Every structure is written in structure tokens, then in C-alpha cells.
Amino acid sequence: MNRTRRLVVDPIRCDAHGICAELLPELIQLDDWGYPMVSEQPVPHHLEAHARRAVAACPTLALLATEVEVARTAGGRAR
């Protein structure tokens, strides 16, 4: 067991500023309407600082990092 973080968007708060996708393109892509699709994978260690920066840069406080327990790094499609 390993504690790690996963990014979640509150879709009601999100206003499609798109800053998160600029700061963290490895885990966040924009859909056709400019809203972020966030990877369901845990944030890899080497991207943690970038993820923190993306969370802090969201003007509507819609991007959240939630702590999760993972047995091992699981796959997941970009969301």
C-alpha cells in the first residue's frame, strides 16, 4: 500500500479557463469545449510539483488533489 494523490475536477466549479492543461499536459487534456479531462491515474512522483502548481493556479478552485491509497500504479484512461 502506498499513499498517493489523484486529481479530480469539480465539474460545477470548473469554468474552462484551461490553465491546468497548460501546466500539466501530461495528465490533463482539454475536450472540444475547453473543459479539462483529467487522468484517473495517480499522479506520478516526478509530476507532483507540477500537479500542485496546476491545483494552485485554478481560478475557480475546481481542480482538487485527493489522497488515495493504491496497491500499485493502476492504468486508467485520460479523463
# residues near another protein by CB under 8 A:
14
| CA–CA distance, 72 with 39 (Å, rounded to integer) | 16
Indicate whether 75 belongs to the interface with another protein (CB under 8 A).
no
Count how many Cα atoms sit within 13 Å of the Cα of residue 43 in the half-sphere of its side chain. 26
| CA–CA distance, 7 with 68 (Å, rounded to integer) | 10
Q: Which is nearer to another protein, 14 or 24 (CB)?
A: 14
**Of 32-61, which residues contact another protein (CB under 8 A)?**
32-35, 37
Q: Which is nearer to another protein, 33 or 69 (CB)?
A: 33
